Amino acid sequence: MAYPLTRDIDVLKKHANQIRIHSLKMIAKAKSGHPGGSLSIADICSALMFGVMRHDPRTPRWADRDRFIMSKGHCVPAWYSALAQAGYFPEEELMTLREFGSRLQGHPDCAKLDCIEAASGSLGQGMSIALGMAMAGKMDNADWRVYCAIGDGESQEGQIWEAALAAGKFGVDNLTVVLDNNNGQIDGYVNEVMPLDPIDAKWRSFNWHVIAINGHDMEQILAAFDEAKQTKGRPTLIWAKTIKGQGVSFMANNYTWHGKAPTAEQCEAAVKELSAA
């Protein structure tokens, strides 16, 4: 039986907040990781896991499940938290992030967890994998869908655009890609390092249906996924405008938190702020 999904905005927001808290605690304990993007993608992860995707924690490889690829693999702490909250593994295991021998590596490892669809982290490759899955689903006349999260810094990789060109050509309408546009990467602000604008025009020119949203507005997120599902003949890009480090005042819009773990004291302050939200 599929996981019981909800459209209760307050419930989805609570899951997103817990994703942020878990992500920070995991990264702080590991003393290594990527908090900024994990916080910016949290609302998307909550919506997918608890409100949109068809899946079953008791049968991770259920043939009729929807698939999700975290192409920006360094932000997998957010997805690990969503998986744990849904019951795929105990929440206590989250604190083993990046430990030697842990199933929860710093980037997704499908050889260690059945609930991870693909290894990712070599930027750009996850979207190609998602495209391949979606094309296979079309060939099999399957009704499951494929979702993929990419980053804006990641979108400077040519492989993203090769996959986008192919998906548009083949009209893979069971593929939805979410661009987490938080304007931060390890080297600086995306619009200074290598600007992507005009984002919408570029994707539309590749025959994609583009939906621009506030990536932290749960109602807009759910509406965008619904619209994507109803769009036929071409894939959909959800252009989610987000804030790197969302929810934590001293991390928000600060690219230096792309790949820097908070100290124990900073983590405590951040969790306190999130818990009061």
Helices (H), the chain: 9-30, 35-40, 42-47, 76-86, 125-139, 158-170, 190-193, 199-205, 218-230, 264-275
What is the C-alpha separation between 178 and 12, in angstroms, rounded? 18
pLDDT tens profile 31-57: 999 999 999 999 999 999 999 999 999
Terminal-to-terminal C-alpha distance of the chain:
34
Mean of the per-residue pLDDT values of the chain: 97
Task: Assess contact for 259 and 33: CB atoms under 8 A.
Answer: yes
Q: What is the pLDDT of residue 79?
A: 98
Reported confidence tier of residue 277, pLDDT bands at 50, 70, 90: confident
Q: Is the pLDDT assigned to residue 255 strictly greater than 80?
A: yes
Kindly write down the DSSP assignment for every residue of 72-106, as one continuous string: SGGGHHHHHHHHHHHTSS-GGGGGGTT-TT-SS-S
Q: How far apart are CA 108 and CA 84, in angstroms?
A: 14
* Band of residue 172 on the pLDDT scale cut at 50, 70, 90: very high
pLDDT at 215 over 80: yes
Q: What pLDDT score does 41 carry?
A: 98
Give all domains of the chain, ordered by start, each with its CATH number. Answer: 9-275 (3.40.50.970)
Neighbours of 90 (CB within 10 A): 8
- Check residue 2 and give its pLDDT: 92
Q: Which of 183, 182, 176 is nearest to 224 (CA)?
A: 176
What is the rounded distance in angstroms from the CA atom of residue 23 to the CA atom of residue 261?
10
Q: Is residue 1 pLDDT above 80, yes or no? A: no
Residues 73, 115: Cα–Cα separation, whole Å: 14
81 contacts: CB under 8 Å, gap ≥ 6: 18, 19, 22, 23, 26, 45, 94
- Looking at residue 142, what is its pLDDT? 98
For 19-28, what is each residue's pLDDT tens digit? 999 999 999 9
For residue 212, the cross-strand partners are 239
